[in-house]
């Protein structure tokens, strides 16, 4: 039996997933939501250490991501989530880096409402949100056009959420244990939301802090890009529109305000959400 989909975009947008974070909303027992999304991110400047540069050998790097996201409510207090992505990457610089396209990563996780209490005109809720990310193919991870880092991540995260009427705020943070060349990371994602009728608008801010690694300038000639200390600060905006009781549309934009050993990325995304 179909149900009314939630009035907000909950989907992860694959290559943008870590740049947006999750929110403090659950599906409800027995309910399933599925989202199909498309995103395009690009950059023609990047940070070598803390210095922003451009390089004609690299040129402009573009990544196109197609992803499927699903969330199912095992109970009113517990969701299980899945995200899978296919990524295409190109660079138009003089060095002629090869195009890459392959299945990228599969992310499996859970979100459990551990504590809730009324606060002022609304309610404050705490969630535990552990997860695991695993590569779905032997994709290229050591090139300018690499589509991922190619290792397993264990994510120990939590979410603090406050809601009062149609206004809410979610803060996701924790510790990501990265079982490969990249060092561990501490993510921080803040999302604000406001709903008016069938439309929800959500500005967000994201920060990734790496716990170690090398600068791009220290990458040896034979390659070692997964070992770089990649950090960034990004901000953006998402919007959701409810079409009917079972279908919704999403769109998003983000930009990079600061970084370290990463691209000065700007991205756009679009999605279609189904309530099953």
For the chain, which domains are there? 14-275 (2.40.160.40)
* Tens-place pLDDT, residues 74-94: 999 999 999 999 999 999 999
- Residue 134, classed as helix, strand or coil, is strand
Bridge partners, residue 123, by sequence: 118, 163
Q: Work out the angle at residue 188's Cα, subtended by the Cα atoms of residues 88 and 176, and round it to the nearest 5 degrees.
A: 70
Q: Residue 47: its pLDDT value, please?
A: 96
At residue 110, does pLDDT exceed 50? yes
Q: Which of 106-115, 215-224, 238-247 shows the lowest per-residue confidence on average (mean pLDDT)?
A: 215-224
At residue 141, does pLDDT exceed 60? yes
Q: Residue 21: its pLDDT value, please?
A: 82
Confirm if 202 and 193 have CB atoms less than 8 A apart.
Answer: yes
Q: Which of 54, 44, 52 is nearest to 91 (CA)?
A: 44
Mean pLDDT of 3-14: 37
Q: Residue 180: its pLDDT value, please?
A: 83
Residue with tokens 């209490």: 117
At residue 6, does pLDDT exceed 70? no
Buried b (16+ CB within 10 A) or exposed e, 144-172: bbbbbbbbebebebbbbbbbeeeebbbbb
Confirm if 52 and 264 have CB atoms less than 8 A apart.
Answer: yes
At residue 154, does pLDDT exceed 60? yes
* Tens-place pLDDT, residues 10-37: 333 333 444 578 999 999 999 999 999 9
């Amino acid at each position: 039996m179909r149900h009314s989909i939630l009035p907000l975009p909950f989907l992860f947008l694959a290559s943008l997933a870590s740049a947006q974070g999750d929110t403090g909303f659950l599906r409800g027992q027995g309910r399933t939501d599925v989202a199909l999304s498309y995103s395009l991110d690009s950059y023609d400047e990047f940070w070598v250490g803390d210095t922003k540069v451009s390089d004609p050998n690299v040129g402009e790097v573009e990544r196109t991501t197609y992803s499927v996201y699903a969330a199912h409510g095992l109970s009113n207090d517990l969701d299980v989530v899945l995200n899978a992505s296919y990524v295409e990457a190109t660079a138009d610089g003089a060095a002629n880096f090869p195009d890459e396209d392959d299945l990228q990563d599969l992310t499996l996780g859970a979100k459990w409402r551990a504590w809730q209490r009324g606060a002022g005109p609304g309610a404050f809720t705490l969630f535990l949100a552990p997860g695991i990310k695993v590569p779905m193919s032997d994709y290229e991870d050591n090139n300018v056009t690499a589509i991922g880092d190619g290792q397993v991540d264990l994510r120990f995260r939590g979410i603090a959420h406050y809601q009062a009427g149609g206004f809410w705020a979610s803060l996701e943070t924790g510790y990501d244990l990265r079982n490969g060349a990249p060092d561990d990371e501490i993510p921080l994602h803040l999302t604000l939301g406001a709903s008016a009728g069938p439309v929800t608008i959500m500005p967000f801010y994201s920060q990734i802090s790496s716990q170690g690694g090398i600068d791009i300038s220290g990458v040896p000639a034979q390659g070692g890009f997964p070992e770089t200390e990649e950090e960034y600060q990004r901000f953006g905006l998402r919007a959701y529109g409810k079409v009917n009781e079972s279908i919704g549309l999403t769109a998003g934009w983000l930009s990079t305000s600061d970084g370290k050993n990463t691209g000065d990325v700007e991205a756009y995304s679009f999605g279609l959400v189904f309530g099953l």
